[in-house]
Structure 1
Amino acid sequence: MAIEASFTVKQADFPLSAVFEQLTDVTIELDRIVPTGEAIIPYFWISADDTGKLTTDLSADIGIEQVKIIDQVEKQMFVRIDWNLTHESILTAIVNTDITLLSGIGKEKRWTFEVRASEQQDLSDFQTYCQDHDIPIELTELHAISSLRSDREYDLTDGQRNALIIAYSNGYYDSPRDATQDDLADELGITRQAVSSRLKRGMRRLVASTLITPEE
C-alpha cells in the first residue's frame, strides 16, 4: 500500500539558507518535477516582500553549484538551480532511494517535505539513508493512501459537498480562521443559517462514512 509522509528539516540544514539571510518574510517552494538523474528539482519559487534585494551569488553554499533567475514578477521570483549532489541532503536521499518528492516548502525556521513511497520498506530505506548520512530529518506525519471514494459513498448532498469545499478553500477550517460563515454565505448565495446547517450535516456524514465502524 502506498504511503505518504511529511518530514521537517531545519532551515540551516538545507541548501538555500542564504536566501533567508538576505530576505525577510520569505517562502521558497520547490517546483515539483519528476527527478531525472542530476536534474532533480531544477526550479523553485521565491516569494517575499522585496525579492529585488536577493543577489544571485548563492554558490558559497556547498549544496549549490549555480543559480539563475528565470523570471521575476512583483513579489515572486522563478529560479533555476543546479544542485551539488556530492553534498548530502534530503535531496540526495530522494535521488538514492525509491521515494517521490511531492512538495518542498521552506520558511523562516524550517523546510517541510512531503514524500510518497510505494510501500513501507521504501520509506524505511529513505529514513535509514538519512540516518546513515547524518541528514537530520524529523517525521511529522504518516498515513497510508486509501482508495478514492465517490461523494455517493460518503452520502453527501451536492449542497453539502459544495459548502465543505468552499469552506476548506477559503480557510474556514484554518486556525485562526481566514473566513467566517457570513463570508461563505455571500459566496454561496445562501443564508448563514443554511451554511451552518450544510457544514454540520456534511461533517457528520463524512465522519460517519470514514471514521465510524459498524460496531461503533
Structure 2
Amino acid sequence: MVVIVHFLVDAGDFVLGRVTQGGPEMHVELERVVPTTGRAMPFFWAFGTEFEAFERSVRRSDGVEELRALAHVDGRALYRVRWMETTPSLTAAIAARDATVLEAAGGRTWSFRVRFPDHHGLAAFHEDCRARGVDLRVERVATLDAECASEYGFDLTPKQSEALSLAVESGYFEVPRQVTLSEVADRLGISQQAASERVRRAADAVLRRALLSRVGNDR
C-alpha cells in the first residue's frame, strides 16, 4: 500500500542542505515534483536578497559541478544544479526505494514529504539513513487514501492547518493586514521563517485544490 511520510532533517545531513548553508541565509525549496532518477535534485528555488553571494558560495562547494540561474522572479530565483558523480545524496537513498520526493524545503532544518510504494520501502529507506548517519525526525506517516482525505481534502498537515487558520483568523490576509507574519509566528511559538513556510504551503494547497480542481471539473 502506498504511504506518504513527512520528516525533518538537518541541513548538514544531506548535500543540498549543506551547500546552501555556506553563504547568506536563504530559504530553499525543491521544484515540485522532484525526480529522483538520474541526477538527484536538479532544480530548486532560493528566496532571499543576496543571490550573488549565495551563488558564489554554492559554486565553491566540493559536491557541485555546475550551478545555473534560470530565472529571477519576485525575490526568488530558480536554479539548476549539476552534482558531482560521487556526491552522496539523501534523494539517492530515496530513489533506491523507488520513492518520489513530493515536496522539500528549508533553511537550517528541512521538511520533506515523500511517497513510497509500500511500508517495506519506507522501512528500508529509514535503515539506509541510519547507516549513512542521517537523523530523520518523522512527523507523520499516512496511507495515500488517508493523506488525500485529510483536512477536508486540502492535504494539510496539522501544523499547516494550525498556522493557516491562525493567520486567517488574525487578519493576516486582510487589506490592510491586521497582524504581521512575525506576530503570527510568535503566537505559534515558532520562527518567522517556519511560520512563513507553513502558511504559504497551506495556502498553496488550499488554493490549488479549490481553484485548479474546479477548472478541471469545468472542462
TM bin, normalised by shorter chain, reads 0.5 to 0.7
4+ aligned runs moved over 6 Å, structure 1: 181-186
Q: Percent identity?
A: 22
SS at match of 1:39: coil
Contact 2:15–2:88, Cα closer than 8 Å, also in 1: no
SS of the residue 1:98 aligns to:
coil
Shift of residue 9, structure 1, vs aligned partner: 1.5
Residue 110 (structure 1) aligns with: 109
The aligned residue for residue 96 of structure 1 is 96
- Structure 1 111/36 Cα, relative in aligned 2: closer, same or farther at 3 Å? closer
TM-score by length of 2: 0.63
User: Which residue of structure 1 aligns with residue 30 of structure 2?
Assistant: 30
How big is the shift at 1:140?
2.0
> Is it true that 1:64 corresponds to 2:68 in the alignment?
no
Q: Which protein has the bigger helix share? A: 2
The change in CA–CA distance for 1:181 and 1:53 in structure 2 (over 3 A counts) is: closer
Distance 1:28 1:184, change over 3 A: closer
Aligned length: 167
Letter of the structure 1 residue corresponding to residue 86 of structure 2: T
Contact 2:45-2:79 within 8 A present in 1 as well: yes
What does the per-residue CA deviation read over 1:70-125, in whole Å, with 9 as the maximum and x for residues that have no partner?
11134111100112353323111112222111111022x21111111121101111
The AA in structure 1 aligned to 2:142 is: H
2:20 maps to what in 1?
19
- Does the 8 A contact of 1:56 with 1:68 survive in 2? no
Q: Which stretches in structure 2 are left out of the alignment for 5+ residues?
A: 155-159, 176-219
TM-score normalized with structure 1 length: 0.64
Higher Cα radius of gyration: 1
Structure 1 pair 180–81 and aligned structure 2 pair: CA distance change class (3 A) = same
Q: Is the 8 Å Cα contact of residues 58 and 66 (structure 1) preserved in structure 2?
A: no
Does the CA contact (< 8 Å) of 1:15 and 1:62 recur in 2? no
RMSD over aligned CA atoms reads: 3.3
Q: Does 1:179 align with 2:168?
A: yes
Matching residue of 2:122: 123
